[in-house]
Amino acid sequence: MGLIVQKFGGTSVRDRSRIFNVARIVANTRKAGNDVVVVVSAQGDTTDDLIAKAAEISANPSDREMDMLLSTGEQISIALLTMALQELGISAISLTGWQAGFATNRAYTKARIRRINTERLESELARNRVVVVAGFQGLNRNDDITTLGRGGSDTSAVALAAALHADRCQIYTDVEGVYTADPRKLPKATKLKEITFDEMLELASLGAQVLNNRSVELAKKYGVELEVLSSLNPMPGTVVKEETKVEGMLIKGVAKDENVAVISILEVPDVPGMSFKVFSLLAQRNINVDIILQSSGRGNNKDLTFTVPLTEAQTAISVLEENKNRFGGGAISLSTEYAKVSIVGAGMQSHSGVASTMFEALFNQGINIHMISTSEIKISVIIDKTDADRAVAAIHDAFIH
Ligand code: ASP
Ligand code: MG
């Protein structure tokens, strides 16, 4: 018994039968003697549909009005779910983000939560009600509605769990937890019992779209243990926490990311300040550079090769072309036929030979590595896109049994 925050994503409340399914999960949690705060997303594709509606009116709608529009999706879900709970005989009340006390900064469409004034929430809980809160939304200092960015309901749930000192924060989705690889691509991938915040952050940024990244950062910051589980299959999910038992699992997951482009600048003068010039140009445009490779000097020149998200590649190329003369004016090339395959595991910090096992698995498949990068808990390789699925399977076999 205690206070439990339960978050349900859009597919979990998609239609009448899914809403009653969620209501039953909440009702059971309540009947077991817990206080329950529920956070919901907009139903199904509602948010995408609203974005499409805005696009019918304007190619460049104002951010304030986008938030006014998008916040309506969650408001539908809270009302319908609360009605369903009441149908099941559960005392419940819905609250919008602002009624629930979410104060955010001014940044429309990507607002950050400043604090949560939990007074109203706590008084409703004291009246023995289940409180159903709209995710993804808050109010800024002008009393204008803001939203937290796509997938922001996870963040709402974690922030509430932290503010209310909840005993548990459960994130219900349409997958059964976090897997060692994408189970749709690799059926033998297994569900993890536990994963650390840091591992989850790496995997999320590598494209394991289970939890919104910011929600994991927040959970780590406030020490909120998360449980990711399915709203459709009642079985234990994956717990995300600070530290996990090291039961011999060196690698928690193998991830593939096709959102990568490789850019090369040839014949950059081999003098101080060149990397600074190139990467500060990209930083000014908020382009995320990931792996960087610099060749050793040949004569008076060197080559710079680096990766950026595919979605930012054209912007990167145009800013580099415009400013070419500032760093020597060598040829700039872009390749989009690559993928990044990575292994993640806190266990590799205390083990040697992890990289060589990965490279051996690739060698056995005849797969060529173009670039490599490592961090304390991650090793990534850039390889041909056409080799990526085979690489994931081979590496998975080498580490996970
Ligand atoms: N409805 C919002 C979205 O689709 C927020 C969320 O689902 O978490 O991005
Ligand atoms: Mg959604």
151 within ligand 1 shell (Cβ under 6 A):
yes
135 within ligand 1 shell (Cβ under 6 A):
yes
177 within ligand 1 shell (Cβ under 6 A):
no
Give CA–CA dist 281/322, Å, rounded.
10
Instruction: Identify the nearest ligand to the CA of 150 by its number.
Output: 1
Atom of ligand 1 nearest to the CA of 212: 8
Atom of ligand 1 nearest to the CA of 149: 9
C-alpha 96 – ligand 2 centre gap (Å):
16
Residue 337: its pLDDT value, please? 96
34 within ligand 1 shell (Cβ under 6 A):
no
10 within ligand 1 shell (Cβ under 6 A):
yes
Residue 149 in this model has a pLDDT that exceeds 80: yes
Instruction: Identify the nearest ligand to the CA of 148 by its number.
Output: 1
Return the minimum-mean-pLDDT range out of 113-117, 126-130, 212-216: 212-216
**Which residue minimizes the CA distance to atom 6 of ligand 1?**
151
- Per-residue pLDDT of 57-98, as tens digits, reads 999 999 999 999 999 999 999 999 999 999 999 999 999 999
42 within ligand 1 shell (Cβ under 6 A):
yes
Confidence class for position 248, pLDDT limits 50, 70, 90: low
Mean pLDDT of the chain: 94
pLDDT over 70, % of the chain: 99
More confident residue, 132 or 205: 132
C-alpha 149 – ligand 1 centre gap (Å):
8
User: Dihedral, CA atoms, 234, 237, 241, 245, nearest 10 degrees?
Assistant: 120
The whole-number average pLDDT for the span 369-386 is 95
Q: What's the pTM?
A: 0.88
Q: Name, in order, each residue with C-beta under 8 angstroms of 324's C-beta and a sequence gap of 6 or more.
A: 332
156 within ligand 1 shell (Cβ under 6 A):
no
Confidence class for position 246, pLDDT limits 50, 70, 90: low
Give CA–CA dist 39/5, Å, rounded.
7
C-alpha 282 – ligand 1 centre gap (Å):
29
- Per-residue pLDDT of 183-233, as tens digits, reads 888 999 999 999 999 999 998 877 667 898 999 999 999 999 999 999 999
Confidence class for position 54, pLDDT limits 50, 70, 90: very high
Residue 207: its pLDDT value, please? 66
